Amino acid sequence: MLAKRFGSPAVNILLLAVALAFIFPVFYTVMTSLRAPGYGLSSDIIPDSFYWGNYARLWSYGRFPRYILNSIIDALGGALLTCVAAAPAAYALARLRFKGRDPLLWFILGMMMIPGLTNLIPLYKLASDLKLLSTYTIMILVFGAYGVPLGVWIMKGFFESIPRELEEAAAIDGATPLQTFLRIVIPISGPGLTATFLINFVYNWNNFITPLILISKTIMKTATVGLFDFQHALEGNQDELLAAACVVILLPAVALFVTMRRYFLQGMIEGAIKG
């Protein structure tokens, strides 16, 4: 009975081995970041002694702390904007019947099909015309918009999974759909909004091509672009420093995922099943 419930030890161990293999590159990178300066390259996996100084070196190296801050602002702002825009749209698509509902749904989801590279040149022009190049505003707007299709997908799935009774009651009391949405639906949508926010935050945090083009001032670059520059600009054998940069960039996203795992997975499943 127990074996049936929790699987045989063999399957468990096998799965654990696969899981450990999956995080090996991360482990390898962490180990590289702990090598002494100039010893970043080594065929050993674990260094003889741990050198933590690379993180201090990184902190004083150029603009790296600022890049991290820029990434946080852009990713956070973008994810919030996505939530603000996607939630009402998803609600309308999930609950209300109106003309053009299906085409609009496919239009929004269809945005996912546009290759990320396609829009960059026109977006550059747009940002340039609006004098928004190298600003948080443009990054937040673009990240916000890029997140909308996924956000609508997740939120629509979420709204369809919550019972209708409360909304119906509010409707009977004469509330408009907007009032129902703001007063009844939003307060109980914490999990769905959190999932939308978190998944988009991670996507924005990791986006590389968009900030590469839309940001030209060094001081406004994001961490991923900074890392790409770093990879190309570091002279000589300084891989341990690059590894430390990788760890600093991946840590917030990994920490967010590990602590809020439930929301991430729920959000994705919600979208997948009900979408």
Partner 1 sequence: MYAVAEKARARGMLGRIQEHSHRFYPYLLMAPALILIGVVSMYPTLYSFYLALTTVRKGEMVFIGLENFATIIASRQFWQSLQLTLIFGVFYITLTMLISFLLALAFNRGLSLGALCMTLIFIPWVLSEITSGVMWRWMFYRDYGVLQNLIGPLFGGVTLIATPAGAMGIVTAASVWRSTAFTMLLLLAGLQTIPKEVYEAAAIDGATKWTAFWKVTWPLLRPTTLVTVVFLSIQVVNAVGMFLAITEGGPGRATEVLPLHMYREAIQYFHFGYGAALSVIMFFINAILAAVYIRALRSESAWA
Partner 2 sequence: MKHKWSFVGLLLVLLLILASCAPAPTPQVVEKIVKETVVVEKPVEKTVVVEKTVEVPVEAKPEPITVWARYDLSDTKDQAAVSLRQLISSFEATTGIKVNYEQVAWDQIALKLALIAQSGGEMPDITELGSQAVPQLVSAGALMDITELVKDTPWVSQLSDADTQACVYQGKRYCVTADVRGGAWYYNVADFPNGWPTSAQDWLKEGERLAKEGKYISTFFAGRHYAAVELTWGPWIRSNGGHVFDAEGKPAWASPETVEVVNWARELLAKGYIPETCFTGDFTAGETPWVEGKAASVRGGSWSFLFIPGLKEKIGAGETKLGLAPAFKEGKHYVFLVGETWAVPKNARNPKGALAWLNFFMNPPTLAQYASNMYGIPTIDAAFKASAFDSDFYRETAKNLGENGVFMEQSPYYTESLDALAIALQELMLDPKLDPASHLQQAQDEVIKRYFK
Of residues 203-242, those binding partner 1 (CB under 8 A): 205-209, 213, 224, 227-228, 231, 239, 242
Residue of the chain from 79, 142, 154, 244 that contacts partner 1 (CB under 8 A): 142
Residue with the two structure tokens 């967010």: 256
Residue of the chain from 31, 229, 257, 264 that contacts partner 2 (CB under 8 A): 229
Cβ pair 248, 56 in contact under 8 A: no
SS3 79: helix
State the binding partner of 89 from partner 2, partner 1, none, CB within 5 to 8 A by kind: partner 1
State the binding partner of 80 from partner 2, partner 1, none, CB within 5 to 8 A by kind: partner 2
CA distances from 235 to 38, 44, 62, 92, 241 (A): 11, 22, 14, 54, 11
118 near partner 1, judged by CB under 8 A: yes
193 near partner 1, judged by CB under 8 A: no
Q: Which stretch binds partner 2 (CB under 8 A): 3-11, 22-30, 82-90, 96-104?
A: 82-90
Using a 10 angstrom Cβ sphere, with 0-12 exposed, 13-18 middle and 19 or more buried, the burial of residue 177 is: middle
Near partner 2 in 40-79, by CB under 8 A: 41, 62-63, 69, 72-73, 76-78
264 near partner 2, judged by CB under 8 A: no
Q: State the DSSP code for 37.
A: T
Using a 10 angstrom Cβ sphere, with 0-12 exposed, 13-18 middle and 19 or more buried, the burial of residue 57 is: middle
115 near partner 2, judged by CB under 8 A: no
